[in-house]
Structure 1
Amino acid sequence: MVLSVASTPLHAVPASGPTLSALLALAALGSVLVLALALAALRRRRSLPYALVAMAFAALSARALVGALTMTGHLGPSTHHLAEHGLDVAVVGLLVGAVYYARTVEREL
């Protein structure tokens, strides 16, 4: 049996329902809580690595927003897919930048 790449979905399309809504709400609540903690740490430390980590958590929180907008029909599947993977790249880039900067400054001291 030959499977055509064009007919194979690249991303699972979950059905909307109470379970998905509850999971999305829990993810949003958790990510906003962690973002608030990161912002509190940034306020105390006022350094670039803390700012980069806080921005990474903001991007993580934005993923929950993208999910909610998709569930309510405000974003299409392709926009949802692009936004989620773009935010994934942003999270990784910001965290790598924070670690790199922290290590570079630590060596200079």
Structure 2
Amino acid sequence: MVNGDDKNDMGYLYEAMDKAKKNLRKRNPKAYKKWWAIIDKRWEMTLHHDLHAAGYFFNPKIQYKDNVHNDGEVMRGTMNVITRLARTMNERLDAMAEVG
């Protein structure tokens, strides 16, 4: 998913990262922090972008699940994308009111 050319996967990246971390914790409780550090380094350096957060937020398959997490990071990224795409202040405010 990370190295593929399919841009439709962007919204699934946040969910995939959470699942990977949970699986690591379950499978190897003693060593998972070491692996999380490796994942987080790659995540922060190359994959962590506001568009991924917005893709996650606006994906209906994810939003209507029981375990959705719209934490501060997801909301900030989504709002940053809205801010960049809105042409006027009114568009920005309208979009933010709909989201928040």
Where is the helix percentage greater, Structure 1 or Structure 2?
A: 1
> What TM-score results when the alignment is normalised by the length of structure 1?
0.31
> What TM-score results when the alignment is normalised by the length of structure 2?
0.33
